[in-house]
Structures are given as structure tokens and as C-alpha cells.
A and B are shown apart, each in its own frame.
Chain A
């Protein structure tokens, strides 16, 4: 009579979907490696030459070429490349001679910290703003949210960053300037603290170094606020449209017929349904901040992944550029996968 499934079958199906997702993930990443490998072969930069220098003899050149494995057939080179990448070896930076993975491990937490805080701000402000606009369409609040969002869309991040620095740092002196810390505190962080995560806010809190924490906060608040503003503009817009769509549904009338108060109709009945598409939107905007904050990082002298890749580009450090590209790709694919899993957790219809 009922078509209810029992719980073990349900969770088994869920596990199978996750396994399927992981397979897709692996194939996507393999494709990504294929692309970066291909780019590495076609750019007009001779990797051997950039290592041995222009005055090397033919014998030295040949030795370096063999050492890099470039005398092997192409498919074998790709195999080695994939095997290395899987073990976390993304090659050696030409600029510094250090393993790229180690360098990225130092730079990436700065980006992660900035983008995460930006996304948190975007969600905390954007979701309520979108709901407010959706529940009073055409009202003053709706107009304000629309206008503020439109400005977030249309003003370039670097301009916002420069003006922000000029006003809040230059004139008002409310926030810390460029960089993640004042130089004094940078020394303290470097020499007298255990760095657990590379995210300064977390590390200083774990060390109980609240003075350094406060300084780091004053540095991150402006760039994170600007990234948060951009992501808020997008999230509030999407939330508004999702919420308006849900509020027109019949189950909302049902909840009202049951005599539920308006806050419950909106924040429980409608929100649970809005969450489903909103998760994807938030994940995409997070990914966008993680990979796309190059301009912000440049303006704020933020030593993150964006700065790393930009610097590498300017010095034609191809392995570093491609290494950074792979990390960005992995981040993007992983976030997509995570949003897929979350999506299934909130929407029971997607589970079966």
C-alpha cells in the first residue's frame, strides 16, 4: 500500500551515489591533469633551457633533458606526471627550486581564510536580505536590497578595494593596511607560535595570542568584507528569487491553514526548500572567491594562491602556474562534489 522504503535501502542508495560521485571526481581530475600536461607541452617555454640557462653546453642540456624525463615517449611522460600528481608531487618551481606543493601549502591557507570569511559574510548578510526582499516585494526594503546588490555586481573588486583602503585605512585608520599582519606581529607569528592550520585567525586563537588575533582581524576585515559584499550581492539575489518561488507554492498555503505564524512559514517551511538550490549557489560563489580573488589579493598584498600564480606567471615559472591551476581545479571539483552531497541531504527526493 505504501511505497515507503526502509531505511537500510535508503542509506545504501545514498552510499552508492557518493561512490558514483567519487568516480566522477577522479575522472574529472584526470581530465584536468591532461589539460595542464598538454598546456605544459605547448607553451613556448623550454623547461630544460629555463633550468640549465642559456650558456649551458649541449651535453649539459641533454643531461637535464633526460633528468626531466623528456626523452621518454609522450604517453609515458603523462603517466609519470599523473603518478607524481597523485602522490602530491606537482614538480619543482623554476624560480625558487623548491617543491611546488610545499609552496602552495604555505600560500593557500591565506586564500582559504579570506574566501571562507568572505563567504560567511556573504551568507549571513545575503540570505536574510534576500528573504526580506522576497517577503515584501516592491517595498523600500526590496528596492534597497536590489540597489545594494546591483552595486555589488557592477563595481569592480579592485576599485572597491582601492577606495576601501583609501577611506578606511588611509583616512579613518579603522582597519589594518595591506598584508595579513603588521610586520611586528608577523615575526611573533613566525617565531613564537605553533602554526596548526596556516589560517592566522585560527592559529592565533589556538595559541591564545589575542593581540595578534586582533591585528590579523583588522587586516582581514576589509578584503573579506569586499569579497563578502560581492558574494552577498549574488546570494541575496538568488535567495530572493528562490524564496518568491517557494512562497507561491501550495504547501505554504497548507502551513498557513494550519495556523503557523509567518516566521515559521518562511524560515522553516519555505527555507527548507530554498536551501536545496541555494546550496549550489553558495558553493559556486565560494569556489569563485577561492579561485578568483587574484585582484583582491594583489591590491591587499595578500600572500595567497592568486598572488602566487600571478607572480609565477610574471616570471614564466610554468610548473608553478600549472601546479596552482591544478589546485584551483581540485578545489572547484571538490566543492561541487560537496554541494552535491549536501543537496542530497536536504532534498529527500534526490536521494532515491
Chain B
């Protein structure tokens, strides 16, 4: 049985000029594997990820025929049930730790918050678990990081803290929304390998949202290519570079290559029938 099954997911925002559909009928299945979602900005990949957690802020609305997570229909779950799922079983790592960590709370307090509030652990025990989680993301001086504020950490450190925080409850599904886009290239590789290791080791399902096609091809098992709120192509990640769909081909064509031609990179050709509607 698959871990997550989404059928005909729609996310609509009502605006003054009428409803805007950010996601228009996306369906996919996910086992304990790594699923990549790629697409240009505004293609609806982030909204798809957040809709799974039912964290779309009003005026956004989520509609779906079915959204089954481990036998439970998320579209019919109460807010209370969703909170229990969010805390323990589905987690999300966001793009930039500069914004996704609370700036006026110590890292340690943010790490132990779930353990203290949800699992009712004592301060000492929660701290021990948090320290272990920091070590698991290869932070060498966890004691000091615990007492630091987010602005005192580098981007790479911040993102490790974020990953540690999200993995503490050992979730079954992790949604990583551009987890390395805000980081330096050298740090990106480190953070990715940490993420990769933990996901493999713990056998989680992973939804990896990115606009970096090469990264996704290397890192994921399967890939959804999204355009204008729809899935235009679904492929095995190995075959991404050999994709057939004109949109995916277009995206691949705009990637620069070292040693490649110095001619200007081509823009996306949106003249095909796929590009309309």
C-alpha cells in the first residue's frame, strides 16, 4: 500500500479579480521513496507540498477527491487530527532558515518544543533528544548551537537545525521544499547528503520540491514535472535527461553546461499546444 495517494488536488485562491487556481487537478502516489517535483516558479509545486499538510492560508482553499495518508483521508480529517499528524508523521523543511526559524527563540527551545508540548517530556530528556538530533545532522558543537539564536547561525547550520527539528519525531513523510536553494553551493552538497542519509536510514517517504533538474535527477527515484498547476509529465528520475515532453525538454535546454557553447541559453518555447490552458 502506498504511503500517500493524492487524487485530483486543486488549490484555489479567491482574489478580487476572481478565483486563481494555483494547483489544477494534481494526482500522484508515493511509497517510501523519494519523489521529486520540479517546475518553474509559480508552477504550483510549493502549494502541492503545503496542501498535503493542509497548510494553505486563507483565502486559499484546498479541494481534492482523495488524499489518503497511510489509510487516513486527509481531506476529511479534523483540524485536531491534522495537528497530530503534522507533529508526528508528516514534516516539512522549508527553503530559507533565515525565515523559517523563529528569530527571537533560542534554537534549543525551538528544537525541544515538540517534545515538551506534544510528548510531555521533561526538560532534561527533551534536551538530550535534541542534542542527539543535532549530532545526527553532523553539528559538532550541539551544546552551543542549542543556546544560540537563529541569527547567530550560518545558513547551512540553520538548515541543519531545521532538518534536525523536523526529524526529531521520526516522521513517515518529509516534504522538503527547496531545502538547499538558499544555501551556498558547497554547503548545498553537505546538507543534501545529510538529508539523503537520514531519509535512507529511516525509510521515510520524501517529497523533494526543487527547480534544480540535475539535483532532482540525481537525488530522487521518481519525478513529477509541473507546469501551470498541472503535472505534465511523470518519469523515473534516471530518465529525466531523456524526457520527451516539450516543456521538460525546454527546461533541460536552458541548463548551462561547463564547456558547452557560449551562445545565449534558449528561453522556453511556449508555442506548443501543451502551453495553453
Interface residues of A (CB under 8 A from B): 1-5, 248-251, 253-261, 264, 269, 272-273, 276, 346-349, 352
Q: In the bound complex, how far is the Cα of B87 from the Cα of A258, in angstroms?
A: 4
Q: In the bound complex, how far is the Cα of B153 from the Cα of A2, in angstroms?
A: 6
> Quick check: A348 and B151 within 8 Å, CB to CB?
yes
Q: Does B130 contact A (CB under 8 A)?
A: no
Chain B residues, Cβ within 8 Å of A2: 141, 144-145, 148, 152-154, 157
Q: Provide the B164-202 mask, 1 if CB < 8 A to any CB of A, else 0.
A: 011000000000000000000000000000000000000
Chain A residues, Cβ within 8 Å of B147: 4
> Quick check: A258 and B141 within 8 Å, CB to CB?
no
Instruction: Give chain B nearest CB distance to A248 CB in angstroms.
Output: 8
Q: In the bound complex, how far is the Cα of B170 from the Cα of A60, in angstroms?
A: 93
Instruction: Give chain B nearest CB distance to A132 CB in angstroms.
Output: 16
Q: In the bound complex, how far is the Cα of B129 from the Cα of A75, in angstroms?
A: 68
* Number of interchain pairs (Cβ within 8 Å): 98
> Quick check: A273 and B102 within 8 Å, CB to CB?
yes
Instruction: Give chain B nearest CB distance to A100 CB in angstroms.
Output: 44
> Quick check: B152 and A3 within 8 Å, CB to CB?
yes
Chain B residues, Cβ within 8 Å of A256: 53, 55, 86
Instruction: Give chain B nearest CB distance to A257 CB in angstroms.
Output: 5
> Quick check: A349 and B91 within 8 Å, CB to CB?
no
> Quick check: A3 and B55 within 8 Å, CB to CB?
no
> Quick check: A1 and B102 within 8 Å, CB to CB?
no
* A3 nearest CB neighbor, chain B only: B152
* A251 nearest CB neighbor, chain B only: B102
- Say whether, besides A2-B145, A2-B148, A260 and B154 are in contact (CB < 8 Å): no
Q: Does B5 contact A (CB under 8 A)?
A: no
Task: Jot down 15 A-B pairs with beta carbons below 8 A, ordered by A.
Answer: A2-B148, A2-B153, A250-B96, A250-B99, A251-B101, A257-B53, A257-B91, A259-B83, A259-B84, A259-B118, A260-B113, A276-B104, A347-B103, A348-B149, A349-B149
| Residue among A253, A258, A261 having the largest count of chain B Cβ atoms under 10 Å | A258
| Residue among B83, B145, B147 having the largest count of chain A Cβ atoms under 10 Å | B83
Q: Provide the B150-161 mask, 1 if CB < 8 A to any CB of A, else 0.
A: 011110010000
Q: In the bound complex, how far is the Cα of B55 from the Cα of A4, in angstroms?
A: 33
* A5 nearest CB neighbor, chain B only: B152
> Quick check: B94 and A254 within 8 Å, CB to CB?
yes
Instruction: Give chain A nearest CB distance to B101 CB in angstroms.
Output: 6
- Say whether, besides A250-B96, A254-B100, A272-B102, A4 and B88 are in contact (CB < 8 Å): no
* A274 nearest CB neighbor, chain B only: B104
Chain A residues, Cβ within 8 Å of B92: 253, 257
Instruction: Give chain A nearest CB distance to B228 CB in angstroms.
Output: 24
Instruction: Give chain B nearest CB distance to A259 CB in angstroms.
Output: 2
- Say whether, besides A256-B86, A272-B104, A276-B104, A251 and B99 are in contact (CB < 8 Å): yes
